Chain A
Amino acid sequence: MISLTNIVKRYKMGEEEFKALDGVDLEIQRNEYVALIGPSGSGKSTLMNLLGCLDTPSEGKYVLNGRDTSTMDDNDLAKVRNQEIGFIFQSFHLLPRMTVLQNVMQPLVYRGIPKAERVKMASEALDKVGLSHRMGHRPNQLSGGQRQRVAVARALVGKPSILLADEPTGNLDSKTSAEIMALFDELHQQGQTVIVVTHEPDIAAHCHRTLRVSDGKIVQDSINAKKAAQ
């Protein structure tokens, strides 16, 4: 479903050029549960941005669901993000002036879905994360764990191919972290493809496959035998 071939991403720092990603080849299949780990500066974030279609590679080919995204323009990328990717961020990134329901409905606005339908879809997504009783609240009235659940609901509402989580538990205590990861496990079991970017081994241990990134390359691609067997 995801296929990266010889991906290179160059950045210019003044006169000098450096490669954030240097020849990445990667295949991820539907319903995989992947952890992306590596120290900061390894190219992990760049890889995540590319996977999430927030950026395009300098070289190489990224095929997502049969479509080559590496040469797409801004508008097409926005459409892909809207339909194929569900983002979850470390600091939740909810829209503060909107209610929980409005936050979850927002991606559907850009799809041109009528309001009644949006409300229905968003309520279903909130139901899935167990927050349907908080629909009228504003993000600042919720706890960190609840906020991240809203973010998960927002990521799920458009039925994306990939759930892309960037340090999803980085701002949460261990108990809430466990709850969020349990939610991810459950979503994966329901057939969702999940990619988690993290530097915590505990979090990575939830995943079935671990990709270690270092110096712009994938240096290790291991299967978590115990999890995969489940």
Chain B
Amino acid sequence: MYAFMEAFRAALSSLMAHRMRSFLTTLGILIGTGSVIAVVSLVQGFSESIKSQFADIGGSTMTLQAENNNENFRTGKLNNIHFADIDALRYKVPGVGVVAPIMQVQTAGASYKGRTGSPQIIATTTEFQAVRARFPEYGRFIVESDDKGRRRVAVIGAQLRDDLHMPENPVGEFFRIGNEWFKVVGMMEKQGELLGFSQDNYAVIPFDVGRALMGNNNEPFISASFTVQKMEEVEQVRERVKRAVRQSRGLKPGQENDFKVEAADTFIKQFDKITGTATAVLGGIVGISLLVGGIGIMNIMLVSVTERTREIGILKALGATRRDILIQFLLEAGLLALLGGIIGIILGYLVGMGIAAMIPGFPPAQAPLWVVIAAAGFSALVGVIFGIMPASKAAALDPIEALRFE
């Protein structure tokens, strides 16, 4: 242990003795780690900002949607979710929490005092709030009596308020959706942008009002969001829901599902997959650059071993074993690469932050701890691996020859 600490000190002092050379030697590692940290911190910052938009829709929220293939779209015989399916979901499946039917209402745009906007119109029930965990900033959300009484009320998003130039607190204002007048009873918390699209350009109206708006002849295109009571039962509940919905849709055994039940975090999982792949590809590129950096280290270490042949001879005469010499040179190579890696991490992070700051609307760069530790560890490992050859050359030197070396 003492020998190890001394070897560490000796390695450090020999690196310090040739500061410029050490720096140039480790430049390859520095640039390699720096570029990976820059890119990874940008990707991570981007992916974290997207994930945080979805974070309020927890993994315990699921959606029931109809599934249609190209053939259905071509013939126009689209599958749809029926009210019976939603009832089955609500009343027949144990483990399901709150169920909110959701209808996308196709209408002309919204208008207010001569201003127009084209919000997404969502017709749903009061449960929507609990399922999506979105809450009003002003006023209130749709309540049960709005639905029962088919009241023409709407809860709007911040973007729609701005588009229509409504007051800061729009509660109590009247505006039109299509040809119908609605009273604003609440405004939801701002969600921000996702991939450049505002998440706040919408109006929520009572479900039955939405049906009336669509005209009862039209079969509305609906889906349902629901929560699962226990997070750990997500998969069991999904299967139960599938069985219950198959039954309510009268599907025979062997017939394929014409609907799908998805967890709301499916998108996040897919996104993770994409960023994971991107990170892996980057990792490969960085691997190559670190390989090049490692060869640089090996090269200089070999020079250094030759230069210090006599020193090695002296150490051997004083009783250093092969192992002592090996450890000292391995430490030196590892330390050299680690220092390059650490400087690279810092510079890379600064570059990442700089780039993020220069692109308008781009989320700030983030370097997760595991990436930092992995990058530092990996560069040290590269140093040690490429140090093996020079270090064993040093360890294998014959003390007599080495002492005679001029």
Contacts and interface: CB of A to CB of B under 8 A. Distances in A.
B314 interface: yes
A110 B320 contact: yes
Contacts of A106: 315, 318
B14 A107 contact: no
Interface stretch (A27-35, A36-44, A49-57, A184-192): A49-57
A49 B404 CA distance: 12
Contacts of B3: 109-110, 112
B318 A87 contact: yes
A10 interface: no
A74 B322 contact: yes
Interface string B302-314: 0000000011011
Given A93-B314, A114-B2, A107 B319 contact: yes
Contacts of B189: none
21 contacts: A54-B317, A54-B399, A74-B321, A75-B321, A75-B323, A78-B319, A78-B324, A81-B316, A81-B317, A81-B319, A82-B318, A87-B317, A93-B310, A93-B313, A93-B403, A95-B311, A95-B315, A109-B2, A110-B320, A115-B2, A154-B318
Interface in B305-361: 310-311, 313-324
A175 interface: no
Interface of A: 49, 52, 54-55, 74-75, 78-79, 81-83, 87, 89, 93-95, 97-98, 106-107, 109-115, 154, 158
The 4 lowest CB-CB distance pairs between A and B, nearest first, are A82-B319, A78-B321, A109-B6, A107-B318
A101 to B, nearest CB: 13
Interface of B: 1-3, 6, 13-14, 17, 310-311, 313-324, 399-400, 403
A154 to B, nearest CB: 7
Contacts of B322: 74-75, 78
A78 B314 contact: no
B2 A113 contact: yes
Contact of A110 (B1, B13, B311, B321): B321
B124 to A, nearest CB: 73
A148 B321 CA distance: 24
Given A54-B317, A82-B318, A98-B13, 17 more contacts: A52-B317, A55-B400, A78-B316, A78-B321, A81-B316, A81-B317, A81-B318, A83-B319, A89-B403, A93-B314, A93-B317, A94-B314, A107-B319, A110-B3, A110-B318, A110-B321, A112-B2
Nearest to A111: B319
Contacts of B14: 97
Nearest to B6: A109
B10 to A, nearest CB: 8
Contacts of A55: 400
Contacts of A94: 314
Contacts of A79: 319, 321
A74 B317 CA distance: 12
A55 B313 CA distance: 13
Contacts of B399: 54
A6 B6 CA distance: 41
B165 to A, nearest CB: 75
Contacts of B324: 78, 110
Contacts of A78: 316, 319-322, 324
Chain A CB within 10 Å, residue with most, of B318, B321, B323, B400: B318
Nearest to A98: B13
A185 to B, nearest CB: 24
Nearest to A164: B317
Nearest to B319: A82
Nearest to B314: A93
Contacts of A81: 316-319
A113 B319 CA distance: 13
B67 to A, nearest CB: 71
A122 to B, nearest CB: 13
A47 to B, nearest CB: 12
A98 B17 CA distance: 11
Contacts of B323: 75
A79 B323 CA distance: 12
B321 to A, nearest CB: 4
A97 B317 CA distance: 18
Contacts of B321: 74-75, 78-79, 110
B364 to A, nearest CB: 44
A98 B12 CA distance: 12
Nearest to B406: A91
A95 B9 CA distance: 14
Contacts of A74: 321-322
Chain A CB within 10 Å, residue with most, of B317, B319, B324, B403: B319
